[in-house]
């Protein structure tokens, strides 16, 4: 069901790789709700993915950009404002990568060059995006900036590795930049702590299938799907949530507040 919640709004969506991506589903839902946007991803990710198909489906333009590169981000922001015909109303940062995870390095045996690269891509890039938008005065009043995170920023999940540190840093940026953009521009910044979701990145984490099943049993409402996350994001891009800012918002079926559930107890009873 569509409500035209984003009619007349313009935005930038980072991170749509393929149909499994939350950013992909967000793009589809934003389009259905009347929003216009530019799609962007790193050139290497664009070669791996199917973003062109999404751009055709949603009648959107693509501007390649490495989110860790300030020159690329400057061109992206300038190009988006030009192509869309005005300032930006919404931005989704849906980017994350751990080279240590990909290479099979444990948290206690990191390659620190890999650690720094993952931090730059997964966390510092969010500050760079916000700073570029701020420097260019590119956001409309009451605009909304969102980044995707995970509860491993608050609790220990051993196989989430250095991504947990990256997400904690990401959430801090949302609070800190949220203050400045809120005071100066009435722009809100939030992070969404989503259920484990079988995206291309998510499935690369050791033991993911087992953990997905565990999270389902630990969540009174069950795991939130990528599409359900996209629907939630639409509300946070809309004018219905204008005073929600500097928050880490749990979208996880109740997982974050569950100590234990009957289903989990049953698994361990003799």
Q: What is the pLDDT of residue 270?
A: 62
Q: How far apart are CA 181 and CA 250, in angstroms?
A: 22
Q: What is the pLDDT of residue 203?
A: 67
CB 113 within 8 Å of CB 156: no
Q: What is the pLDDT of residue 47?
A: 79
Percent of the chain with pLDDT over 70: 98
Please, which residues have CB within 8 angstroms of residue 78's CB and are 6 or more apart in sequence? 136
Q: What is the pLDDT of residue 206?
A: 73
Domain 10-268, CATH: 3.40.50.720
Place of tokens 């989990």: 264
Q: What is the pLDDT of residue 70?
A: 98
Q: What is the pLDDT of residue 220?
A: 96
Q: What is the pLDDT of residue 161?
A: 96
Alpha-carbon radius of gyration of the chain: 18
Residue 139's nearest CA partner among 81, 190, 83 is 81
Q: What is the pLDDT of residue 46?
A: 79
Please, which residues have CB within 8 angstroms of residue 9's CB and are 6 or more apart in sequence? 34, 35, 36, 89, 90, 237
Q: What is the pLDDT of residue 200?
A: 72
Mean of the per-residue pLDDT values of the chain: 95
Note the pLDDT tens digit of each residue in 57-76. Answer: 999 999 999 999 999 999 99
User: Taking the domains of the chain in order of start, what are their residue ranges?
Assistant: 10-268
Q: What is the pLDDT of residue 204?
A: 67
According to the 3-state scheme, what is the secondary structure of the chain?
CCCCCCCCCEEEEECCCCCCCHHHHHHHHHHHCCCEEEEECCHHHHHHCCHHHHHHHHCCEECCCCCCCHHHHHHHHHHHHHHHCCCEEEEEECCCCCHHHHHCCCHHHCCHHHHHHHHHHHHHHHHHHHHHHHHCCCEEEEEEEEEEECHHHCCCCHHHCCHHHHHHHHHHHHHHHHHHHHHHHCCEEEEEEECCCCCCCHHHCCCHHHHHHHHHHHCCCCCCCHHHHHHHHHHHHCHHHCCCCCCEEEECCCHHHCCCCHHHHHHHCC
Q: Evaluate if pTM is beyond 0.85.
A: yes
CA triple 227-233-236, angle to 5 deg = 155
- Which residue(s) pair with 13 in the sheet? 39, 92
Ranges of the chain with pLDDT below 70: 202-204, 270
CA 142 to centroid of chain Cα atoms: 19
């Amino acid at each position: 069901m569509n409500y035209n919640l984003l009619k007349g709004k313009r935005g930038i969506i980072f991170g749509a790789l393929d149909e499994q991506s939350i950013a992909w589903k967000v793009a589809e839902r934003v389009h259905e709700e009347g929003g216009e946007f530019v799609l962007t991803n790193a050139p290497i990710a664009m070669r791996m993915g199917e973003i062109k198909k999404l751009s055709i489906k949603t009648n959107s333009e693509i501007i390649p950009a490495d989110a860790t590169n300030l020159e690329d981000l400057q061109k992206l922001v300038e190009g988006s404002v030009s192509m869309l015909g005005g300032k930006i109303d919404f931005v989704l940062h849906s980017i994350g990568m751990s080279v240590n995870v990909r290479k099979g390095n444990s948290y206690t045996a990191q390659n620190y060059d890999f650690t720094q690269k993952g931090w730059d891509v997964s966390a510092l890039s969010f500050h760079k995006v916000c700073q570029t938008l701020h420097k260019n005065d590119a956001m409309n009043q009451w605009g909304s900036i969102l980044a995707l995170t995970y509860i491993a920023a608050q609790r220990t999940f051993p196989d989430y590795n250095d991504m947990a540190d990256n997400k904690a840093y990401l959430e801090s940026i949302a609070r800190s930049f949220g203050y400045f953009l809120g005071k100066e521009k009435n722009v809100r910044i939030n992070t969404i702590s989503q259920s484990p979701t079988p995206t291309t990145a998510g499935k690369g984490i050791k033991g993911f299938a087992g953990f997905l099943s565990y999270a389902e049993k630990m969540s009174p409402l069950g795991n939130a799907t990528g599409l359900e996350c996209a629907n939630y994001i639409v509300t946070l891009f809309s004018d219905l949530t204008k005073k929600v800012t500097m928050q880490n918002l749990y979208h996880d079926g109740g997982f974050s507040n569950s100590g234990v559930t009957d289903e989990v107890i049953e698994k361990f009873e003799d």
